[in-house]
Structure 1
Amino acid sequence: MQPPQDPSNVTHVLVAAFPARLAGAVQSVLAVMPDARLAPAESFEVVEVQGETVAIPYRIYNEEPETGGSERPLTETQQMILHCLYSRHSDGRVRQRHLEKIMASSEPWVVPFVVQLAGEYVLEILDAIGLGVPGLAAPGSADRRLYGEFIERNPDFFARTERRVVSYWSCYYRRKYEVFGTYPGSALMEAFRAAASEHAGVQWPRRTPPPSATCSAGPP
């Protein structure tokens, strides 16, 4: 079992998950978070919509703060940062609870937290994303522009996300969703690709089977 890191290193890891301009706000959030029993899991790097590279931990292990436990209430931005961090929690129910607080946000730095969860295995989270990003399916919407630009900036990250969706479907859910298009992750990938195609002005490459594919078919 990995021991907790030096607190200053943990701070550095979590601050690095957000644009540098938010460092002070992130530190205010970390001040109300209980210490973790384990260090954050390895991070994945992406370029956020405004062009800055961030490194988001795959998992965190902090317990949730007690409601009303802070002497000074968090600002709206600080609350969004807290929800983003806890959307990386090791407990899927905690991830979903905090994901539901961030999906309607128009902040560019929220987007990679949502897209990463679209490539994970909890069905309730996939369903929540499908319902919770209101404009993703609407051509020309602000959500489409936001997510389309993020995917265009991070093609390799999105390709890995697509492959993860296929892998989880094939390994765990193909009995329940024999046709790929009925799996919630398939619809999300279709929506994200449509957003990327609209933003880039070209058809975004597909790295998942077509919706009509059955469990015996793999990616093209």
Structure 2
Amino acid sequence: MNDALSAAFPSELADDARAVLAVMPAPSHLSTFPFSVVVQDQRVAIPGRIYHDEPSADVVASLSSSQLQLLHCLYTRHCDGRVRQRHLEKVVGSVDPWVVPFVVQLVGEYVLEIVCVIRDELLDLAAPDTLGHLTYGRFLADNPAYFARIERRVVSYWNCYHRRAYVSFRGYPGCTALDVLRSAAADHAGHPFPNFAPRARSGVDGYC
């Protein structure tokens, strides 16, 4: 189990990852459905969901700042959406490369409050040539198939769960987040990135 979760981070963070895993309570279930992405030329495997209770406050206080960041990243994969959001809010403003896939993955999930948190933070990282813009751009340019899958999931969850509140996909917070991410990817790659959002169709409401 610990080896599997350590694989969520680049190798230079192995010692910090082991320190974090040592304070996490034993899981009630095994972590599920990891997804593989490239982070700064290293392939990592991030869990789809984890089932660990959160460690106590005194234990968390014993961690270094870098270890605490890794802890928050892992708990953004928790099975409880409220736990995911609470830990996301601690790291969503980070521009460290290993944090980025944890944030991007949540854009493609169904909890609207989480998508809104990311949308709001990404707007602050959207300016070209800022470190955040460059970091997200590199990650997405290095993982184009993964980003395409995230885009399709955003559209799917909008269509299934949020279309009543957001009749047009253009008004959906996930669409705004995708626009910012796609811009960063295109700037890094030096060419336009494919757009998998729904296209406007004559006589059909609800599309871009």
Instruction: Say if 1:163 and 1:208, in contact at 8 Å, map to a contact too.
Output: yes
Give the equivalent residue in structure 2 for 1:53.
Answer: 43
Give the equivalent residue in structure 1 for 2:53.
Answer: 63
**RMSD across aligned positions (CA):** 1.7
In the alignment, is residue 156 of structure 1 matched against residue 154 of structure 2? no
SS across alignment from 2:31: coil
SS across alignment from 1:120: coil
Instruction: Say if 1:104 and 1:134, in contact at 8 Å, map to a contact too.
Output: no
Give the equivalent residue in structure 2 for 1:42.
Answer: 33
Give distance in 2, aligned partners of 1:183 and 1:105. 24
Distance change (3 Å), C-alpha of 1:170 and 1:105 = same
Give the equivalent residue in structure 1 for 2:92.
Answer: 103
Structure 2: which 5+ residue stretches go unaligned?
Answer: none
Letter paired with 2:48: Y
Letter paired with 1:22: L
- Which of residues 24, 46, 68 in structure 2 aligns to 1:33? 24
Instruction: Say if 1:119 and 1:165, in contact at 8 Å, map to a contact too.
Output: yes
Task: Write the mapping of 1:1-220 to structure 2, written as runs, cut at 5 A.
Answer: 10-48=1-39, 50-69=40-59, 73-133=62-122, 135-210=124-199, 214-215=205-206, 217=207
Give distance in 2, aligned partners of 1:61 and 1:210. 38
Give the equivalent residue in structure 2 for 1:4.
Answer: none
Instruction: Say if 2:151 and 2:178, in contact at 8 Å, map to a contact too.
Output: yes
Indicate the percent of aligned positions where both proteins have the same amino acid: 50
1:214 shift after superposition: 3.5
SS across alignment from 1:41: coil
TM-score between the two structures when normalised by the length of structure 2? 0.94
Once superposed, which parts of structure 1, at least 4 consecutive aligned residues long, lie more than 6 Å away? none
SS across alignment from 1:121: coil
Structure 1: which 5+ residue stretches go unaligned?
Answer: 1-9
Deviation per CA, 1:173-213: give whole Å up to 9, x if none: 11111111111100001110011111111111101125898
User: By percentage of residues, which structure has more helix?
Assistant: 2
Give distance in 1, aligned partners of 2:107 and 2:159. 16
Instruction: Say if 1:180 and 1:214, in contact at 8 Å, map to a contact too.
Output: no
Give distance in 1, aligned partners of 2:179 and 2:122. 14
Instruction: Say if 1:182 and 1:211, in contact at 8 Å, map to a contact too.
Output: no
Instruction: Say if 1:135 and 1:141, in contact at 8 Å, map to a contact too.
Output: no
SS across alignment from 1:55: strand
